[in-house]
Amino acid sequence: MTVFKDLGWRLLATYWLVMTAILGTSALAIYLRFVHVVNAQLDARLTTLAESGRPSLVALKSEGQDALLRQEMQWPRLLHRDQQGLTWYNDRKISLLDQGTVFVDLPPDTGANPGRSIILSPNTRSVLLAVPSATNAGQIEGYVLATESTHRVERLIRQLRLGLGIGGLVALSLSSLGGMLLAHRTLEPTQRSYKKLKQFTADASHELRSPLTAIKFSLDVLMKHPERIHPKNTRKISAISSATDQMITLVEDLLFLARSEVAADTQDTSKETQTSIYKILQGLLTLLEPQAQSKTITFESVLIPDVTILGDEAKLTRLFSNLLDNALQYTPAGGSVKVRMEKSVKSVFITFEDTGIGIAPSQIRSVFRRLWRTDRARNRRDGGVGLGLSIAQAIAQQHNGKITVSSRIGVGSCFRVRLPLAKASVEQFEMTAIPLDRRRTADQPLRG
């Protein structure tokens, strides 16, 4: 069933978006936390290395490099020469000695913290420690710079990104499968209830036909013998007859919708044939010409011959009849109703445009709802039950088509039907559309 399929896909899409947001947020939090921890560990390691090199600065300045060979220092045990570097500077930031293999130039600005600064460079990360003078308070003896290559850290981060990406895709795939199962189980009770409701509607409509037919028959017999009717009861019987006709129409429409939905569910194509849209519209315009003349409504049409679709001719006739009847009912005297056919590569478009009362923008989405009509329409039209447009849309959808609406209050409405062309019409697409002069008024005869 189309409505439940669409609802299922919307539920699945919503579930998928929620899961994507949750997994994405979690992955981002893990990634940022991992990067922070790895960089913090690297800074701690470099700080320890720089601290171990502080005691060597005074000896290096006073005795030169030979002093480092005579003293037992801690930094040689901490320094990984293939990945790190250790540099000593004097108070003027002039390099005194380099140890290791990774070095960077000391920037002029050592950072906001005069005691410890972190220096970021391409492919390296450094910690700079200031060494205070032991004799002169407030004086700087020099600086120790510990540097390490970030290749290993970047490799770990890349591996984490890859793992999070693959894990996220796997999690989303499993979530999608779970979402499909969840959406199916969520909609299953509703589908069962809906099927029962449809069956009840069909059964009730079918059962109501017989008593309503009997009532109508009895009323017709009674009205054929007015001498048997008391004059005071004439209006009452007429009202009963009118209400009976309305009830019969309602029952027939409900029964038609119920049968149409069953046919759509079972994809029944037994009655589909090559159907000429031109012939259907031609016949309906001829049939409704007297009704238009009685209201002095102008019919204007541009039709294209040799346009066929694969469909049920009776249902398509009802579709276009409902739209034309709707246009005539809501168009005031002296107005116009235009019917126009257009053809694309794979579709035919039939437009019904009137100069009627129009529909408010906020109500356009509701025009195809069953038993719905605007208050203004209820004041203007008697006898309708509000199922005509619902039936038209249902028929269009059964033929893989669609009806769209545009309208302006006080200007009129435009209903546009799109239907897929039959193969024969697609092959003849290069033929030029032949407009027919079907502009007619109440004083002009109908042209065949």
Does 139 map to a domain? yes
- Looking at the structure, do residues 278 and 153 belong to the same domain, yes or no? no
Same domain as 414, residue 289:
yes
Quick check: 83 pLDDT over 50? yes
Share of residues in the chain with pLDDT > 90 (%): 28
Asked whether residue 222 is assigned to any structural domain, the reply reads no
Residues 282, 144, single domain; the answer is no
Q: Using the 3D structure, point to which of 138, 157, 176 is the last residue of a domain.
A: 157
Asked whether the predicted pLDDT for residue 441 surpasses 50, the reply is no
For the chain, the domain total comes to 2
Beta pairing class for 140-149 and 84-90: antiparallel
In a domain, 362, yes or no: yes
Residue that is last in its domain, among 102, 129, 157: 157
Q: Is residue 186 part of a domain?
A: no
pLDDT tens column, 2-29: 667 778 888 888 888 898 999 999 999 9
pTM for the whole thing?
Answer: 0.52
For residue 207, give both structure tokens: 């059962």
Confidence of residue 262 (pLDDT cuts 50, 70, 90): low
CATH number at residue 23: 3.30.450
Does 416 or 7 have the greater pLDDT score? 416
Please give the pLDDT value at position 201: 66
Question: Could you tell me the two tokens for 104?
Answer: 């960077």
275 half-sphere exposure, CB direction, 13 A CA radius? 20
Last residue of a domain, one of 106, 140, 157: 157
102, part of any domain: yes
Q: Is 116 left (phi over 0), alpha (psi -120 to 50) or beta?
A: beta
Inside any domain, residue 325? yes
Domain that holds residue 299: 270-420
CATH number of the structural domain spanning residue 335 = 3.30.565.10
Residue 151 and residue 279 share a domain: no
In a domain, 200, yes or no: no
Q: Is residue 70 part of a domain?
A: yes
Residue 323 phi/psi, 5-degree rounding, is -70, -40
